Amino acid sequence: MPAAPKPEILAAFEAAKGFMPVDEGLALYAAAVEAGRLGLPLLEVGTYCGRSTVLLADAAREAGVCALTVDHHRGSEEQQPGWEYHDPETVDPELGVMDTLPTFRRTLHRAGLEDHVVALVGRSPQIAAIWRTPLGLVFIDGGHTDEHATADYEGWAPHVAEGGLLAIHDVYPDPQDEFTGQAPYRVYLRALASGAFTEVSATDSLRVLRRTGPGI
């Protein structure tokens, strides 16, 4: 049986702002627990308000490793005012721009997981450019344009250790999902075609792959 989060962790996940459904969250948690056995950090790209971070942090705590989460906290394209996934509660009332960092911190505090997460606040390519540590898990869940999804893959996939896992969210093969999931789908296809990664599982729009060879 795949590892499952404790009821209080699942409750914290469900209570947090975010878009990941429970079945995908359970699959991500199981992957994080497995990856944690490598004794290396677990990293996600795309924090938003910390919904999936709760799961990664608990898996990291159980494994005695660190969870890292990368986001500039100004929202991705589809979360801006006027777009489908915009939440007015995430707008800084003084500056008039999105700021999901305070909500994210409240999410971790309520879940009792602050001590198990390092929040890397900045743009993914800038942080990836200076990153040097091997990772047990990389979870790509950032921007959905080709520019952003490709940059996340090229920046972070090289750091997945041998036997480590690469998880990609919002993989939608149907061309009608061009805006929401075609860029992650193309990254997923690229990972498979590289020969560096082998698919482990598929749960709705979440794909989990294992590093089985060099390169990206």
Catalytic residues: 144
Nearest Cα neighbor of 118 from 180, 175, 183, 70 is 70
Nearest Cα neighbor of 100 from 55, 41, 53 is 53
Tokens of 140: 């790509």
Q: What is the CA radius of gyration of the chain?
A: 16
Tokens of 210: 């294992």
Strand partners of residue 180: none
The DSSP secondary-structure symbol of 117 reads E
Residue by residue, what is the 3-state secondary structure of 124-188? Answer: HHHHHHCCCCCEEEEEECCCCCHHHHHHHHHHHHHHEEEEEEEEECCCCCCHHHHHHHHHHHHHH
Q: In what order do the strands lie in the sheet with 117-121?
A: 117-121, 67-71, 42-45, 135-140, 160-168, 206-211, 197-203
